Amino acid sequence: MTDTGNANKMRNREIARNEEVKQVTGSIRVSIWAVTVAVIIGGILLTLGWLSLR
């Protein structure tokens, strides 16, 4: 019984590690998209501002 319990604990820990890696990867991907969108919007606003001053 203890072998099965220990195996389950090790399996659960491995699953938790894998889920943590997936979550971090997903968070990084979302952050990259957010920065990209912010840069694009900033560029558009900067261009519009510059054009309005000309």
Residue 1 pLDDT greater than 60, yes or no:
no
Domain boundaries, the chain: 1-54
Q: Report DSSP letters for 9-31, one per residue.
A: HHHHHHHHHHHHHHHHHHHHHHH
Closest CA to 15 of 4, 3, 7, 26: 7
Residue 2 pLDDT greater than 90, yes or no:
no
d(CA 37, CA 30): 11
Segment 11-47, tens digit of pLDDT = 999 999 999 999 999 999 999 999 999 999 999 999 9
Q: Tell me the whole-structure pTM to 2 decimals.
A: 0.64
Secondary structure element (H or E) that encloses residue 3, with its range:
helix 2-53
pLDDT at residue 34, rounded to an integer: 96
Confidence of residue 3 (pLDDT cuts 50, 70, 90): confident
pLDDT at residue 5, rounded to an integer: 85
26 backbone dihedrals φ, ψ, rounded to 5°: -65, -40
